[in-house]
Amino acid sequence: METKKILIVDDDADLVLATRLVLESAGYDIEEAASGEMALEKMRTDKPDLVLMDVMMANPLDGYHTIQQIADDPQLSRIPILMVSAITASVYASSFPTNQLLSIREFISKPVEPETLLKKIKRHVR
Amino acid sequence: MNRNEDLNLATPPTRMSVEYELRESLGWLSNLRWIAGAAVVAATWITRNVLGLDIPAVPLTAIGIGICLYNAGFKWWLARIQRGSPDIDAQPQTLARLQIAADWIAIAALAHFSGGIASPIILYYFFHTALAALLLSDKDTYISAAVATLLITGTALLERWSILPHHHVAGLLPADLYRNPLYLASTLFFFTSTIFVSAYLSTRITRRLRGREAEMIQLSGNLQRAYFQLETIYNNAQDVSSTLELQEVLDRLTRSTTNVMNLKGCTIRLLRETGTQLSLVSSYGLRDEYLKKGPLLVAQNPIVRQVLAGEIVAVSDVAADDRLQYPVEAAAEGIRATLTAPLEGRTGPLGIIRVYCDKANCFTEDDYLFLLAVASHGSVAIENAMAFEAIQHLEESKRKFVLFVTHELRAPIGVVRSLLNTMAGGYAGDLSDLQQDILDRAVRRAKFLQTLIDDLLDLAAAKTGLGVTKETEPVDLRVTLARIVERYRVPASEQGVDLQVRISDGHPICVVATTEELDRAFTNLVSNAVKYTPEGGVVEITLEAQSDKAQLVVRDSGIGVPWEALPHLFEEFYRAPNAKAQVQHGTGLGLVITKDILTRYGGTIRVSSGVGEGTTVTVILPTVAASADTATSDVTTNTTHNTRVTDSETTQLNSRMEEPRGDEEDPDCG
């Protein structure tokens, strides 16, 4: 079976480290992006199987705006995305674009429990 | 307030009312004259035909008819005056003089034909003297008294010297009385003196009467002005107090004060925090060139010091007053007089209000009182607006604080927990038992810290609604409750607690709120019940709809609340001693948050309990009618749907997170 590639988009290096440790232990390949711009670039070059995106990144391109750009690109919008947010996830859920093309699969609130994260990822990466 | 005469509520001028009265008097005088004329004709006829006295009936009757004739003429003239023909001036006066003159001649003729100096008719002259005093000026009254004397004396003398024939009324008077020089002299003397004394007394009385009348008119004018001022102050106070925006309050004050006092302009200056100068905050009617002159310095301005000490200070002539800080600028602006009153707050002077007049010696006692009244209600309005601004400022900083805490506290603790979880979960390599134990403790403590931060945020949000980013909408309580219950099924069964739920079937129970807050409020109740109920116990949750409210009862067979702890249950950070013993970590904020949320949505919460007796919490929330197309909802579907969510019980996920289109969540209440 081919190794699945996951792109972690977060400007908090500590959080990226924690997530990377968990996912690597489950055998995933990890790519990192510390900004929205970098995320778009890596999505195009590395073609990840799933993106874990932090909602609250520093401007100019935060999670929300990155998602909008992804929605405009038919190639990128096919990639499943899990949104991670520090605030109660449901608050964000209702304010996000409901574009059908987008493949936001789930909202996850921080802090991420390793077990839960792996379970959710398994559901969307096959 | 002399300037107010331009306004619609001007004093009724005194002259007008006197003229009005004169016209009225002339009216009833004419009416009286009809009777007099008719009475002369009738009396003549009766005297001659009934009493059988020999009197000159033809001339007397002719005089009676003559009186009626000229009276008709006067009547017509008076009617013209009353219609207000503009082409004739000062007519009531002329008419009054003419009437009295005509009556004089008529009385003289009557007296002549009824016995001359001996006739009792001459007494009528006194009656007319009083009338003249009432209707005409003093001078005219004396002239008319003199004319009457002349007429009587002339007639008497002419008859005495037989130049005029004497008409004798036989049987009434002695026949030759008119020839008796002593009688003639004494009658004329007493007549003359009496008529002049009468004239004097009548004019004095009339003058006093006029004085009183003028006083009354002035008083009523003052009353009207006072009423107008009161009304204005009231309207201004209402107008000024109808806004809480400070600048608007100030601008309305200066504008309305200028207009009501009919002055050049008005300014309000407020004391700076340093207390050394006043800065202009609002003005009306003055040019920018003048207003730019600079601040009023308390140290250099004796007027300002006096006003700030609570006095009202007038500068009656700007050119002659050396207390002014900017005399040149004031002169250039055309200001001749100023009046300054203090604006006094509850704790000290706020500033000053000043009005400007373009005439010297402009201000009256009334102006002082009026400006003081404006200043006192203005101060209240200004203070209220200031307090309101302070509150708004406070609310804003509170909101900023909540946002700050949200981001700055929650983010790092989240990262710490993620890192700890990673290590404790063995994802960073194997751990010894001791390391595992230490990390598990750290994880628990970090989790508690996060709960505390979340609770504090929720508390701030619950009390004020601040930080609640979503709009309220009708939410089906049954759906919310079912979701919470599903979340607690697993923990309850692990703990050996029987979780029983009864939700009334049928119609949705809709409460206007946010799903998140209702979730938070009820989660606390269910969580408490489960947490403090030992193995083998029961937690019973009942939700039912009553006419326009919903009742939720959470009853447990748990440890209960000691009676001495009951009054403190809704206090922040309070935890009952037996609860502390049972569960070590708790923030003591849950019930407070629940109560604050419920209160904000118009609900109530009641707790009844006793140690070992379990606890019953009853919540009442006002409901709204479900939308018209509501079908009988299927709660089971919702709960099953939500079971998926409970897989991740450690996160606060609900169904909305799985389906971003949140609108579909509560189709029954939307």
Return the higher-pLDDT residue of B447 and A126.
Answer: B447
| Whether the predicted pLDDT of B158 surpasses 60 | yes
- Same-domain pairing of B129 and B170: yes
Q: Is residue B41 part of a domain?
A: yes
Put simply, whether B430 touches A (Cβ < 8 Å) is no
Residues of B in contact with A95 (CB under 8 A): 469
Q: Which of A91, A109, A113 has its CB closest to that of B516?
A: A91
Q: Is residue B425 part of a domain?
A: no
Q: What is the pLDDT of residue B633?
A: 41
Q: What is the pLDDT of residue B450?
A: 86
**Which one of B339, B357, B388 terminates a domain?**
B388
Residues of A in contact with B427 (CB under 8 A): 21-22, 24-25, 114
The interface predicted TM-score of the complex, written ipTM, equals: 0.82
Residues B321 and B318: their CA atoms lie apart, in Å, by 5
Name the residue ranges covered by the structural domains of chain A.
Answer: 5-124
pLDDT digits (tens, 9 = 90+) for B90-101: 577 788 888 888
- Same-domain pairing of B196 and B260: no
- Same-domain pairing of B214 and B265: no
Give me the percent of chain B exceeding a pLDDT of 90: 28
The CATH number that domain A5-124 falls under is 3.40.50.2300
Q: Is residue B151 part of a domain?
A: yes
B411 and A12 within 8 Å at the Cβ level: the answer is yes
Tokens coding A109: 């609130």
- Rounded-to-10 torsion of CA B595, B597, B603, B606: -20
- Same-domain pairing of B278 and B342: yes
User: Which residues 6+ apart lie within 8 Å of B463 measured at CB?
Assistant: B596, B600
B414 and A104 within 8 Å at the Cβ level: the answer is no
Q: Is residue B227 part of a domain?
A: no
Q: Is residue B407 part of a domain?
A: no
Helix (H) or strand (E) holding B353: strand B349-357
| Whether the predicted pLDDT of A123 surpasses 90 | no
Q: What is the pLDDT of residue B123?
A: 84
Put simply, whether B662 touches A (Cβ < 8 Å) is yes
Domain count, chain B: 3
Q: Which of A25, A104, A120 has its CB closest to that of B427?
A: A25
| Whether the predicted pLDDT of B138 surpasses 70 | yes
- Same-domain pairing of B117 and B153: yes
**Low-confidence winner among A49-63, B354-368, B522-536, B613-627 (lowest mean pLDDT):** A49-63
pLDDT digits (tens, 9 = 90+) for B241-267: 788 888 888 998 899 889 888 899 999
In total, the C-beta contacts within 8 angstroms joining chain A to chain B are: 107
Q: Is residue B235 part of a domain?
A: no
Residue B511 belongs to domain with CATH number: 3.30.565.10
Average pLDDT over residues B44-70: 87
Domain range for B125 is 6-219
Nearest CA in chain A to B453: A87
Q: Which of B418, B419, B657 has its CB closest to that of A93?
A: B657
Q: What is the DSSP string of B596-625?
A: HHHHHTT-EEEEEEETTTEEEEEEEEE-BP
Q: Which of B413, B415, B421 has its CB closest to that of A12?
A: B415
Q: What are phi and psi of A5, to 5 degrees?
A: -110, 130
Q: What is the pLDDT of residue A20?
A: 93
Beta pairing partners, B621 = B550
- Same-domain pairing of B213 and B311: no
Residue B356 belongs to domain with CATH number: 3.30.450.40
Q: What is the pLDDT of residue B660?
A: 38
Q: Which of A22, A86, A108 has its CB closest to that of B427?
A: A22
Q: Is residue B582 part of a domain?
A: yes
Put simply, whether B495 touches A (Cβ < 8 Å) is no
A113 and B650 within 8 Å at the Cβ level: the answer is yes
Cβ atoms of B333 and B363 within 8 Å: the answer is no
Q: Which of B422, B469, B660 has its CB closest to that of A21?
A: B422
Residues B114 and B111: their CA atoms lie apart, in Å, by 5
| Whether the predicted pLDDT of B661 surpasses 50 | no
Helix (H, G, I), strand (E, B) or coil at B537: coil
Beta pairing partners, A66 = none
pLDDT digits (tens, 9 = 90+) for B174-211: 777 778 888 888 888 999 999 999 999 999 988 898 88
**Which one of B339, B365, B388 terminates a domain?**
B388
Residues of A in contact with B451 (CB under 8 A): none
- Same-domain pairing of B248 and B113: no
Residues B340 and B354: their CA atoms lie apart, in Å, by 4
Interface test with A, best of B415, B593, B658 (most A CBs within 10 A): B415
Put simply, whether B403 touches A (Cβ < 8 Å) is no
